[in-house]
Every structure is written in structure tokens, then in C-alpha cells.
Amino acid sequence: MSKKIKEKTIKSSKHKKIIKKRKPNRSFVGDILIYFVLFLFALAMVFPLVFAISSSLKPLDELFLFPPKLFAQNPTLDNFQDLFVTMGKSWVTFSRYIFNTVFITAVGTTGHLIIASLGAFVLAKYDFPGKKLFFTIVVTALMFNGYVTAIPNYLIISKLGWVDTYWAIVIPAFAAPMGLFLMKQFMEGIPMSLVEAAMIDGAGLGKIFMRIVMPNVKPAWLTLIIFSVQNLWNNKAATFIYSEEKKTLVYALQQIQSGGIARTGQAAAVTVIVMIVPITIFILSESQILETMASSGLKE
Amino acid sequence: MKNYIKKYVILRRNEFKIMVKKMKKSKACYLFLAPYAILFTMFYILPVCSSIFFSFTYYNILESPKFIGVQNYINLILQDDIFLTAIKNTFLIAVITGPLGYIMSFLFAWLINELPRWLRTIGVIVFYVPSIAGNVFIIFAIFFRGDAYGYVNAFLMNAGIIGAPILWLTNPKYMLKVCMIVILWMSLGTGFLSFVAGLQGVDRSQFEAGYMDGVKNRWQELWYITLPNMKPMLMFGAVMAITQAFGVCDVTMALCGYPSTDYAARTVVTHLFDYGFSRFEMGYASAIATTLFLIMIICNKAIQSLLRRVGT
């Protein structure tokens, strides 16, 4: 017990020393000034979000109040209720939209995770001809936006007969270069000796992948899942899916949102519902994501 | 000379043989990579190639593509005034929001990094969240509404800065500026996360060594120690920033309408959508896409060679 405390005090005194050492390059006034500016920027960043959330809680008479109040005086959930009523009235049920989005997100993310980590594993840990070239191409693919390939993508998907099916969104999501890139960079951090030891013990490629590598890259898993979920959750899929019963939640919600001034309250509720999922997921997994991003650097 | 060529051929042949042998040995690797490689080829490589191919044709989906050489590109540059507006707007947005967003990402990440842990977590969340919050940026349409009840207008009028409300989103003079503000608000994305994570990984002992060697203030510390350590992340962040800056279309379409007044908020991507999915002139749209692709790749390469010199 006493040993533990002793260790702790040593640790903290060491810590203090480092802090003291760090002081010379930091002026007190500078610190305050800089963090004050940072604080102002932070306020500016959250202001629209807070405003969106608070206006979704405002009753109708407060929504059109002028000058506006930042916080609702009598917060209600009326807007959300109205939203469910409106959704309930449409001939495609609300649950169907939710199912569509959840299905697309779940299948797309799972497939992406499996396929990208399979590829990343061999790219990170083995040496074979063509590996460098392939990875260079993947990195190049990070350099252009999805919009560039929108048209040929549409042609390819229509040739495959996937227009107006979920696959039009799910399958291309499997091959997102960002996932493979992050996974590969993170896997490179696993010591090669671990893999070699398993090899000597007679494990095949599949076993090494399942037993050694995958359990060791959990943060990368999570990051991949989160990026993929964010991407698919916000996917409107407007170019690929036409039938109402296959439309995604975000798309359906945006149709409500464009319903004019009478739906101002509901529109605010929509905004909150759409943003709450990716944000919650991010907040819950922030430290894991940062751990993965630490290896995201592009080496020459 | 002959001898030399002979030797060269033999060498190459041997190398090739070794490669084939290696390939045979690593069959399992290819098997692992195959699913990703196939899908990636299908949805990333093939589209780029076919986009380049279609850009030299007249193609409207109904008829089979007709080869017309570089006519599409000539039309783009010489006849399509709107395209030139779009290019101008895109470059304007990219040149201003790209570097500014990039610098902001780094600066904020750097400042957040020295905060205590719990504050850092809050900081990361606060700064990153706008970029993943879906279509929350629509809220800016309320702030910048054109009548006297728009919040920005009301504020400026009460402060006596302007006499009459400004049509922020329909007056070509202001549209792009408003869009840029919104884009900047959303620009702390993946690159920012990469910076935050990278800064955590910078070796502390290097700072101590720096103090010994006479690093005097935080800015010198930044330039001589932090930045060189962060090079790979800086590269990654630059790629993200450039890709984002040239792909702007959501914000301009949602705020300024599609099409916008006098095409003042048209970007290359909006133009691409117009020709591709409204007029179905796939050949022409492919030419636009190829132009955009080249711009992005060239910018990325240029910026990367620039970034290599950071901190040296």
C-alpha cells in the first residue's frame, strides 16, 4: 500500500518537473490570450448546433419570436411529436424508412469492415509483387472526391441492374479507400515478431488474421465502423433509389424539411434527429478514433 | 553494345522469373486482397478510366457513344460561360477555404493539445462535430435570411451598420462569401482528427532537448519541433482538405439554390450534376469530371511537394 503511494508521489513529482520545464516557452499572458480566442471560436462552432437543438424544442409561437431567444422558454417535444404524426400519415411507414437506413448502414459497414481489413492485413504484413503499386493507387483514390466518379458509377450500377436496390449504395461502400488506408496504417504498428511467432507455431494466414491481428486492432475497427456509419447514415442515395419504400431516412426527413414555413418546427426536429446519431457515436468512441488516427500519416 | 543489351534482357528475365515465383508463393495474399481489389477496381479505377474515355465522346445513354475527339473540352473552355463561372467559383472557394480550413484545423488541434485531458476531449468534440452533423448547415439559411427578420440582417441593422436588409443568399455579391463562412465552419474534419492524434504522439523528450538547444517561445517550438514531427499527418490533412475544397456543392446548393441567381454560386460539381443527371449529356459531364479529377490530383501533388519542405 505504502509502496503504491510512494510510486504515485514520485510520478506526480516527475510530472510537476516536466510541467515546470515546459513553462519557459509559455508566457502566462500568451496562454490566457490564446485560450480566450480559442474559447470564442469554440462558441462560434457550437452556436449553430445549440441553436438547432433549442429551436427543435421551441413551441410554435416561440419559433417565430423576434428577436429570437437562444434558449426555449417553455421547451416542449411537440415538434418531435408532430414529426411522428406527419411521418405516420405517409403511405410508407416510418419504420420502413428506419429499416432502410439501418439495413444499408449495417450491411455496408459490416462488409466494408471485413473486406477492407482482409486487404489491409496482407498489405501491411506481407510482401508480394504489386503491393506497393496497389497501395499507391488506393492513396491516389483518397485524393479525389466521390463526385468525380458519380457518372460512370451510375452507368456501372445500372449495367449491373442495381438501380433502385440497396446494393447500389451498399456494395460501393465496401470499397471505400479511407477504411483500407486507416486499417493498413494501423496494422503496420503491430510488431512483425508477433506474426512471425504465430507462423512458426504453424498458423496459416487465416488464423493469423483472425487470432493475432484482428484482436489487436480494435481501435481501428471502431474507427472504420464509425466512418462508414457516418457516411452511410447521411447518404441520401437520391441518384440511385427512386421508389418511395426504399428511400433512406435522411431523404424522407428532408422531404418533410422542405415543407415550407408551416413545418419550421418539424424541420428543426429533423435536423436534430439526423445529426444526433453520428454525433453520439463519435462522442462515445472519441478516444479509440484518435488512437487510430495517430497512425494516419501519409509517408512518402 | 550488343552484349550490354543481352545482359539487360537476361537480367530482366531473371527478375521477372523471381517475381512470378514470388507471386506463386504468395497466392494466399492475393486471395485476401482479391475482394477489396475487385470492388475497388469496379467502383474507383474503372469509373475514372471510363470517365476519361467518355469525355472524348458524345454520349446521352440512349444512343451508343460517338467519338468526337476533344470537342467536349473545346466547348467547355470556349463556349460554356457558365463552366468558366463554375471554375472561377470553385477555385475561389478552394483557394480561400482550403488553406484557411487547413491552418485552422492545425492551429486548433495544436492549441487543444496542451489542455488538460477532459478539456481536450470536449475541445475535439466541439470542433469536429459540425463536419459530421449532417445537414445542420441549413440553419445558416435562417441566420442569413434576406428579409429584416433574418438574424444577421436584424443584428446589423440594429447596430446601425446597414440601413436596409441585405439579400445574403440571392445577391451574387454576397452568396459566395456566406457559403465560404459555412464551409469554413464545417472544415475541421478528418484532417483535424489526424492532427490531434498526431500531436499526442510527438515525443516529449524532443521538446526538452529543444529547450536545452535554445528554443525560445512556442512558435519556435512549433516550427522546429512539432511541425517536422507532424509531416505525415500534415500530408494526410492536406489531401483531405484539398479533396473537400474542390468538391464543394452541398452547401452552395442548399443555401443558394440550384440553379443559383446568375449562377453566382455554381461550382464545378454542381455543373457536373446539371449535365450528368438533369440533361443526361454524359460525355460532356465526363469531360467536366475529368477536368475536376486532374485539378484535384495536380493540386494534391503540388501541395505535397511543398509540404515536404516544412520545418527544414
Same domain, B43 and B129: no
pTM: 0.84
A287 at the B interface (CB within 8 A)? Answer: yes
**Residues of chain A contacting B33 with CB distance shorter than 8 Å:** 118-119, 122-123, 134
Q: Over the stretch B240-295, which tens digit does the pLDDT of each residue have?
A: 888 888 888 888 888 888 788 888 888 888 898 888 888 888 889 999 999 999 99
* CA–CA separation, B283 and B67 (whole Å): 10
Other C-beta atoms lying within 10 Å of the C-beta of residue B62:
6
Among A224, A187, A279, CA closest to A111: A224
Contact assessment for residue B136 and residue B221, using Cβ atoms and an 8 Å cutoff: no
> Helix or strand or coil: residue B54?
helix
Same domain, A50 and A93: no
B302-311 average pLDDT score = 82
pLDDT of A50 higher than 70: yes
The percentage of residues in chain A with a pLDDT greater than 90, rounded to a whole number, is 13
* CA–CA separation, A206 and A209 (whole Å): 5
Same domain, A252 and A143: yes
pLDDT, position B290: 92
Total domains in chain A come to 2
Tell me the pLDDT band of A115, cut-offs 50, 70 and 90: very high
Same domain, A104 and A50: no
The answer to the question of residue B279 being in a domain is: yes
The answer to the question of residue B59 being in a domain is: no
Same domain, A172 and A270: yes
What are B230's strand-pairing partners?
none
Same domain, B36 and B100: no
The answer to the question of residue A300 being in a domain is: no
Interface of A with B in 130-189 (CB under 8 A): 130-131, 134, 137-138, 140-156, 171-172, 174-175, 177-178, 180
Tell me the pLDDT band of B219, cut-offs 50, 70 and 90: confident
Distance from CA of A5 to the nearest CA of B (A): 23
- Cβ B43–A153 below 8 Å, yes or no? yes
Compute the count of residue pairs across chains A and B with CB atoms less than 8 Å apart: 272
Same domain, B36 and B115: no
**Residues of chain B contacting A174 with CB distance shorter than 8 Å:** 35-36, 39
* CA–CA separation, A130 and B244 (whole Å): 29
CATH number at residue A179: 1.10.3720.10
User: Residue A165 corresponds to which amino acid?
Assistant: T
The answer to the question of residue A66 being in a domain is: no
Q: Over the stretch B92-131, which tens digit does the pLDDT of each residue have?
A: 999 999 999 999 999 999 988 888 888 888 999 999 998 8
Same domain, B50 and B127: no
Distance from CA of B296 to the nearest CA of A (A): 6
Cα dihedral B148, B149, B150, B153, rounded to 10, equals 40
Mean of all residue pLDDT scores within chain B:
87
Same domain, B149 and B205: yes
Tell me the pLDDT band of A5, cut-offs 50, 70 and 90: low
Same domain, A100 and A207: yes
The answer to the question of residue A79 being in a domain is: no
Q: Over the stretch A119-173, which tens digit does the pLDDT of each residue have?
A: 999 999 888 888 899 999 998 888 888 888 888 888 889 889 988 889 988 999 9
The answer to the question of residue B119 being in a domain is: yes
pLDDT of B312 higher than 60: no
**Residues of chain A contacting B304 with CB distance shorter than 8 Å:** 298
DSSP 8-state code for residue B66: E
pLDDT, position A235: 81
Total domains in chain B come to 2
pLDDT, position A130: 87
pLDDT, position B169: 83
Same domain, A11 and A126: no
CATH number at residue B176: 1.10.3720.10
- Cβ A152–B247 below 8 Å, yes or no? no
Among B166, B126, B139, B170, CA closest to A68: B139
**Residues of chain B contacting A297 with CB distance shorter than 8 Å:** 194, 198, 230-233, 235-236
Question: Residue B212: phi, psi to the nearest 5?
Answer: -60, -40
The answer to the question of residue A123 being in a domain is: yes
The answer to the question of residue B172 being in a domain is: yes
Using the structure block, give the residue that is written with the C-alpha cell 517475381.
B19
* CA–CA separation, A131 and A134 (whole Å): 5
Minimum CA–CA partner of A34 in chain B = B111
Same domain, B40 and B81: no
C-beta contacts of A22-27 below 8 A and 24+ residues apart: A22/B207, A24/B211, A25/B211, A25/B215, A25/B216, A25/B217, A25/B218, A25/B220, A25/B221, A26/B218, A27/B217
Same domain, A194 and A240: yes
Same domain, A118 and A36: no
Question: Exposure of B1 by Cβ count < 10 A (0-12 exposed, 13-18 middle, 19+ buried)?
Answer: exposed
pLDDT of A1 higher than 50: no
The answer to the question of residue A101 being in a domain is: yes
- Cβ B125–A42 below 8 Å, yes or no? no
> Domain range holding A124?
87-293
- Cβ A149–B43 below 8 Å, yes or no? yes
Q: Over the stretch B19-66, which tens digit does the pLDDT of each residue have?
A: 888 888 888 889 999 999 999 999 999 999 999 999 999 988 888 888
Same domain, A23 and A141: no
Same domain, B38 and B86: no
Contact assessment for residue B43 and residue A153, using Cβ atoms and an 8 Å cutoff: yes
Question: Residue B216: phi, psi to the nearest 5?
Answer: -95, -40
Same domain, B126 and B263: yes
CB under 8 Å to B30, separation ≥6 — which residues?
A128, B23
Nearest neighbour of B36 by CB, restricted to A49, A175, A204: A175
The answer to the question of residue A76 being in a domain is: no
Same domain, B34 and B92: no
Same domain, B134 and B247: yes
Distance from CA of B172 to the nearest CA of A (A): 23
Distance from CA of B270 to the nearest CA of A (A): 10
Same domain, A18 and A167: no
The answer to the question of residue A174 being in a domain is: yes
Same domain, B33 and B114: no
Contact assessment for residue A235 and residue A100, using Cβ atoms and an 8 Å cutoff: no
Same domain, B134 and B23: no
> Domain range holding B213?
71-307
Minimum CA–CA partner of B271 in chain A = A147
* Size of chain A in residues: 300
A30 at the B interface (CB within 8 A)? Answer: yes
Mean of all residue pLDDT scores within chain A:
82
